[in-house]
Amino acid sequence: VRNFKPDVIGFSCYIWNYKETIKFCDKIKKINPNILIVLGGPCVSSLQYSKEVLKKNPSVDVVVRYDGEVTFYEIIKNLVDSNRNFSNILGITYRNKNKIVANPPRPLLENLDEIPSPYTSGIYEKYILSENSKHLTFFDPTNFLMETSRGCPFNCSYCFEKNRSSGKVRFFSLERVREELNYLSTRVKTINSIYFTDSIINIKKQRLIELCEMLIQKKFRYSHIYFEIRPEILDSEMIENIRKIGNLLVECGIQTTNKKAGTIIHRDFDENAITRNIKAMQEKGIRVVTDLIKGLPGDNLAGLKESLYYNFKLNPDLCVCFTLQIFPGTEIYEMCKKYHCKFDENNFNRIISSDTWSEKDLDRASRLVKLIQNFQYKKNILNFILRYSYLRLVIARTIYNPKAVARSFINKVEQLIGMI
Ligand code: B12
Ligand code: SF4
């Protein structure tokens, strides 16, 4: 900040970096109070919370709510043209002298292709792949994020998607996705992984099939590909196309098998469809990770044990059981009073107790989950690494990028030692 002397600094806020970000903002303002500090990201995007963020943190000047590209551009343009008059910029909450002002929401950008691609526009190359970016030591430039859609038609009460897009899913055109993948396959030397950020990649069957065809290209056969999927809405044709990718890891949200909790979070457990489709993927050798949430309102220790037992029977490559986090701007945040949910603001908003969960039970649940996950990890790691597709991947990566392979091997050994 002292050397570069910026006029504006923007931060992306997620639940995992929000508190640290605020500390940064305070330090920046001490160095130069004239720097405009803009926050964006899911953690600060809800209307109500954006006001609270500004009220509690005098070092923050503007909060951008939800989609940021056009809004951030307008803020910068406005700074250049009219010197901090933000009254006409939609989708922001900001400080105007001593008042906190929330402008009306910005209508959703319908044509996502209007957003310049970070890859094909050359931005990625300029700032991340170039020699000038060597100082970004925290950043592994062999891992890539790809976004082919935004939004989700479901409305799980713990998730912020509903407020962001009111159930609407918007898509980048497949031509653009193809161009981005072409860019990666021709311009980037090592692609360790591609993580698709789409909330539900299988929301449209034909698109998924076309995407799979793009990924079957030779260049991506040596990279890890990650999809987030709703297993209930898969079918055999989708599964067959996913299989062809070969080195794919599919993450399936199950969250809970408990009926009461499922109703509260608007996520009914469709046992037949989930079991059928996960089994079908496993039979075809697709690696599956299932997700559960512990601490949901309506659920309890006995309910969680049933969810874990169901997952155990499914025998996925990994079952991850997260602790419920209560995000501002979600329905569950509003429901806290009704279900007496207490959460810890100093521990990433993790649930502490509720009507159906005592602190003791949550603690027992955490210990149980740790035990099961350790056991499962040790049991499955051998199956996992002996799989043909994985061995092929490791051999190819060792030839292409021996340093990266050595680094990830050391990480894995450290993890294993930590678990023992
Ligand atoms: C990829 C991803 C991950 C990856 C991260 C990889 C990486 N290198 O970033 C992994 C798998 C590691 C991950 C893990 C977790 N994740 Co995650 N993840 C995502 C996912 C699927 C995509 C994020 C993304 O890049 N989206 C695309 C970009 C373009 O969208 P965006 O980030 O929202 O940004 C837009 C706006 O918010 C805004 N904006 C963002 N920043 C800024 C900054 C400025 C200045 C401005 C003006 C605007 C702006 O403009 C952007 C463009 O419109 C999202 C869900 C989703 N579909 O977005 C969840 C999501 C971000 N994850 C979430 C969570 C909860 C987690 C976990 C905590 C889960 C858990 N319980 O353990 C972990 C914690 C990770 C950690 N570090 O501790 C939540 C965060 C909720 C919150 N309130 O913060 C999300 C939103 C999922 C959800 N629906 O609830 N995650
Ligand atoms: S949790 Fe997944 S399925 Fe549910 S609303 Fe969020 S993105 Fe959609």
Cβ of residue 195 lying under 6 Å from some atom of ligand 2? no
Taking the C-alpha atoms of residue 208 and residue 194, their distance in angstroms, rounded to an integer, is 15
The phi and psi torsions of 137 (rounded to 5 degrees) equal -70, -20
What average pLDDT does the segment 111-137 reach? 84
Question: Which atom of ligand 2 has the smallest separation from the CA of 230?
Answer: 3
Q: Measured between alpha carbons, how far is residue 121 from residues 67, 144, 277, 306 in Å?
A: 19, 16, 39, 49
Q: Is 161 in the pocket of ligand 1 (CB under 6 A)?
A: yes
pLDDT digits (tens, 9 = 90+) for 218-268: 778 778 899 999 999 999 999 999 999 988 899 999 999 999 999 999 999
Give the C-alpha separation, 270 to 232, whole Å.
Answer: 7
pLDDT band at 82 (very low <50, low <70, confident <90, very high): confident
Q: What is the pLDDT of residue 389?
A: 58
pLDDT recorded at residue 162: 82
**Ligand 1 centre and the CA of 65: distance in Å?**
14
Does pLDDT of 420 surpass 60?
no
Q: pTM above the 0.75 mark?
A: yes
pLDDT, tens digit, 9 for 90 and up, residues 279-302 = 999 999 999 999 999 999 999 999
Atom of ligand 2 nearest to the CA of 255: 1
Tens-digit pLDDT profile for residues 378-400: 666 666 666 665 666 677 777 76
Per-residue pLDDT tens for 333-378? 999 999 999 999 999 999 999 999 999 999 999 999 988 877 776 6
Residue 360, burial from CB neighbour count under 10 angstroms (0-12, 13-18, 19+): exposed
Strands (E), 103-232: 143-146, 149-150, 170-171, 193-196, 224-229
Mean pLDDT of the chain: 90
Q: Quote the pLDDT of residue 410.
A: 74
- Residue closest by Cα to atom 83 of ligand 1: 43
Supply 299's token pair: 């659920």
Identify the residue whose C-alpha is closest to ligand 2 atom 7.
Answer: 199
Question: Of 412 and 318, which is predicted with more confidence?
Answer: 318
Q: Whose CA is nearest to atom 4 of ligand 2?
A: 156
Residue 192 has pLDDT above 70, yes or no: yes
Q: Which ligand is nearest to the CA of 38?
A: 1
Q: Is residue 196 helix, strand or coil?
A: strand
Residue nearest to atom 21 of ligand 1 (CA): 197
CB atoms inside a 10 Å sphere around CB 381 = 15
Give the ligand whose atoms come closest to the C-alpha of residue 106.
Answer: 1
